Amino acid sequence: MKKLVTVLKSDGSKEAKMMDIPEPEPETDLEPALSMEDITLDMLADHEERLCMLELTTL
């Protein structure tokens, strides 16, 4: 698709140009749904992190 854009030159002047701007691609790669195993592993990692922080703060 051609669009009129303003280009700033190195000498500070501006120039209007017709440029070919590609259409953005639709976002089809949505984040895949997490499996039950992924959710469980995330919960275990969060729990382990909290336990480690508790150990560090109670020394």
Check residue 6 and give its pLDDT: 85
**How is the chain split into domains, by residue range?**
34-59
Report whether 4 contacts 20 (CB < 8 A): no
Q: Where are the alpha helices (DSSP H) in the chain?
A: 36-57
At 29, the pLDDT band (50, 70, 90 cuts) reads: low
> What gap in Å lies between CA 56 and CA 49, rounded to an integer?
11
Check residue 12 and give its pLDDT: 85
Say what the pTM is: 0.43
φ, ψ (nearest 5 deg) of residue 40: -65, -45
pLDDT, tens digit (0-9, with 9 covering 90-100), for 33-55 = 889 999 999 999 999 999 999 98
For the chain, give the mean pLDDT: 86
Query: Residue 44 is encoded by which pair of tokens?
Result: 């275990």
